[in-house]
Homo-oligomer: A and B are copies of this chain.
Amino acid sequence: MTKAQNFITLTYLIETAGSPERLAAKIASDQSTGTFVPLPGETEELKNRVAARVVGLRALPPVAKPSFPTHEAGPFNRAEADIAFPFDAIGTDLSALMTIVIGGVYSIKGFTGIRVVDMKLPPEFGTAWPGPQFGVAGSRRLTGVQGRPVIGTIIKPALGLRPHETAALVSDVIDADVDFVKDDEKLMSPSYSPLEERVKAIMPMILEREQKTGKKVMYAWGISATDPDEMMRHHDLVLNAGGNCAVININSIGFGAMAFLRKRSGLVLHAHRNGWDILTRHPGLGMDFRVWQQFWRLLGVDQFQINGIRVKYWEPDESFVASFKAISTPLFSPQDCPLPVAGSGQWGGQAAETYARTGKTVDLMYLCGGGIVSHPGGAGAGVKAVRQAWEAAVQGIPIEAYAREHPELAQSIAKFADGKDA
């Protein structure tokens, strides 16, 4: 039994007009044995058994502006504090972990900023939780794609299409030889487009095309529902119709529903993290993705949407690169890595930079909406253009040079290179 296996270590970025050291000690105390008054029963033996301890404190330069507004005067002191929680005091339950090492920390008085920036879990978590059922290898096996990124697209508009209208759009993109298609995460099972009717309208086309061509498009269905029993009915509907993937709004359904689904799932679980941004967008507050993603990987996410290079959203490229690295780094084994999914405003023009900045790997899904379906030559040309852009990236050929002999790519550059249309 090594000592390192018996602690869960969290790193907190602390910002305060007062003493970061004092606040670090307060986190350790409040989140383990601490209470407001010394109580009978709070013995030294008990403290030794379960008390959290500050095991590292690194001062950072103070900042002039507080992360939380305050009437206190600056500058605001900052430090990164490592706090070790005895594993036995928490166990492997992820909701207990979240409650003890993260949840309560946010309510402590005296911070002008608090962000959880790292979490190191002992190996007990690797055996207690299933992790991805399919992950990178399963996603490749089921799509039949090797040696290049899985190319995907999204059915838009997000809301409002009736099943037959959705089916018409899907027909176009599967004819375009795309590897993967997904429902917009906002589409689940509204009354104007119940999942059952969408499945009935679309799955036969996918199976028919598989019979003709031998290639089965992976379609990610929006099966999320608040009631886990209902989500399972959605899951079964898709599985029984021959489907193999589902979009899960992990942040909206929560840990419990994800655990429930994973235990019973026969589908690749494609995670959309809608809502996550508010927990990470302010650099002095909330949580790093490197912390949050650990929970969801242990719970069983197979494919993880993490934005991409030059996205339409607030997230800067370096944050995407850090997220890619986080989910591509094994927690306990290489099998616990989900397939990274780069999306939002992608059209192929970001392939070279994505490839260069993520360790020159093609183990990812590259998800293009308008970048495929709004290609001037149609969706088929759009898919070709994206594949060409990745061939160029891997071969280290500038995209403009490669486009000279690849007309679909040339058309993409002409349409999307200003960054506004994809």
Contact = CB atoms under 8 A, between A and B. Distances in A.
Interface of A: 31-37, 39-42, 46-47, 49-51, 65, 67-69, 88-91, 93-96, 98-100, 102-104, 106-111, 114, 156-161, 165, 168-169, 185-186, 188-192, 224-229, 231, 249, 251-260, 263, 274-279, 281-287, 299, 312-315, 345, 369-370, 373-374, 421-422
Closest 3 CB pairs of A and B: A254-B254, A256-B257, A103-B275
Contacts of A224: 95-96, 99
Nearest to A273: B103
B188 A93 contact: yes
Contacts of A315: 107
A98 B275 contact: yes
Contacts of A252: 95-96, 98-99, 103, 255
26 contacts: A32-B160, A33-B157, A33-B160, A35-B369, A37-B369, A37-B421, A39-B157, A39-B373, A40-B169, A41-B157, A41-B161, A41-B165, A41-B168, A42-B156, A88-B190, A88-B192, A106-B277, A225-B256, A226-B299, A228-B257, A231-B256, A254-B257, A255-B257, A257-B260, A278-B285, A282-B282
Contact of A99 (B32, B104, B249): B249
Contact of A192 (B49, B278, B314): B49
Contacts of A67: 282
Given A88-B192, A249-B99, A37 B422 contact: yes
A312 B36 contact: yes
Nearest to A272: B99
Nearest to A90: B190
B257 A89 contact: no
Nearest to A184: B35
A78 to B, nearest CB: 14
A127 B88 CA distance: 44
Given A95-B253, A98-B252, A253-B95, A190 B314 contact: no
A107 to B, nearest CB: 4
Contacts of A100: 159, 186
Contact of A89 (B36, B159, B282): B159
Contact of A106 (B95, B168, B259, B278): B278
A353 B260 CA distance: 44
Contact of A274 (B90, B93, B103): B103
A232 B275 CA distance: 28
Contacts of A50: 159-160, 192
A188 B95 contact: yes
Contacts of A114: 278
A116 B189 CA distance: 24
A186 B312 CA distance: 39
A89 B190 CA distance: 7
B35 A157 contact: yes
Given A50-B159, A186-B100, A370 B108 contact: no
A283 B39 contact: no
Given A95-B249, A229-B260, A282-B67, A313 B46 contact: no
Given A106-B278, A255-B226, A312-B36, A186 B260 contact: no
A277 B107 contact: yes
